[in-house]
Amino acid sequence: MRSIWRTLDRELTRDIALVCVADGLVGVSYGAIAVSSGFPLWAPMLMSLLVFAGASQFMLVGIIAGGGNPLAAVVAGLLVNARHLPFGFAIGDVFGSKWAARIAGSHLMIDESVAFALAQRDSGRRRAAYWACGAGLFVSWNAGCLAGAFAGTAISDTAAFGLDAAFPAVLLALVLPSLRDRATRLPVAVGVVVALVATPFLPAGLPVLLALAGVLVGVVAKEPTTLEGAH
């Protein structure tokens, strides 16, 4: 673990730390919402340890708390986490060859750890960023969930604290610099529009999956340029 932190520079360490803090706050919100919705104290904590996927956990709590079928909640969670399949192909090299490391690395595979890994060009920094971010988020998320679960009985309106807005705000701050690239703005704009249009009509999590259509638009828009360069 020491070699991982030695590989990271101060700026990357700061960015990972900011995301961990925001994730911990969202974990507090999740734990409080779950307990205030009628779940026992141990349920959100056990789910955070074994599932470790915020979108799926929020979705399951929302569906069951609203009277939905637990099976439907599980299926919805699996559908939201389907994005992890291409993630695994994209960053499989950071896990190493040992089965224990691959299993642990797969469990820590979330949007943020993948994003930090893909942003690094050097293989050593990719590996360090992935493991540092994944481990940091696992600790902060579960600590936040634990605190929120105990606070859930005392908080009557969890939305009033705005904890769910902290995480997206930090992620937006990290993404903004990449929007200086003209080729990046088109797929991002398409993804945003698709997500905004779909949000009022679909369960939480599905609009994000549909927003991946922006990636396809970006690929299609880039192909003519590539072909022209070949000529």
Q: Reply yes or no on whether the pLDDT at 158 is more than 60.
A: no
Each residue of 173-197: pLDDT tens digit?
Answer: 656 666 777 777 788 888 888 878 8
Q: Rounded to whole angstroms, how far apart are CA atoms 54 and 175?
A: 19
Each residue of 29-80: pLDDT tens digit?
Answer: 888 888 887 888 888 889 889 888 877 787 778 777 767 677 777 777 777 7
Nearest to 118 by CA among 128, 110, 126: 126
Q: Where are the domains of the chain?
A: 2-177, 181-231
Q: Which residues of 124-162 are buried (b: 16+ CB within 10 A; e: fewer)?
A: ebbbbbbbbbbbbbbebbbbbbbbbbebbeebeebeeee
Residue 51 backbone phi and psi in degrees, to 5: -95, -50
**Number of DSSP helices (H) and strands (E) in the chain, helices first:** 13, 0
Give residue 140's pLDDT band: very low, low, confident or very high (50, 70, 90): very high
Instruction: Tell me 158's DSSP state.
Output: G
Contact 113, 133 (CB under 8 A): yes
> How distant is the alpha carbon of residue 73 from its chain centre?
18
Q: Reply yes or no on whether the pLDDT at 214 is more than 50.
A: yes
Whole-Å CA distances, 149 to 37, 128, 154, 206? 11, 31, 10, 26
User: Which amino acid is it at 199?
Assistant: T
Give residue 143's pLDDT band: very low, low, confident or very high (50, 70, 90): very high
Q: Mean pLDDT across the stretch 130-140?
A: 91
Angle (CA) 31 57 17, round 5°? 70
Residue that has been written with the tokens 């040992």 in this structure? 98
Tokens of 167: 């995480």
Between 106 and 204, residue with greater pLDDT: 106
Contact 55, 26 (CB under 8 A): no
Contact 87, 109 (CB under 8 A): yes
Contact 29, 161 (CB under 8 A): yes
Tokens of 18: 């900011």
Q: Is the dihedral of CA 224, 226, 221, 89 positive or negative?
A: positive
End-to-end CA distance of the chain: 48
Q: What pLDDT does 227 receive?
A: 43
Q: What pLDDT does 141 receive?
A: 92
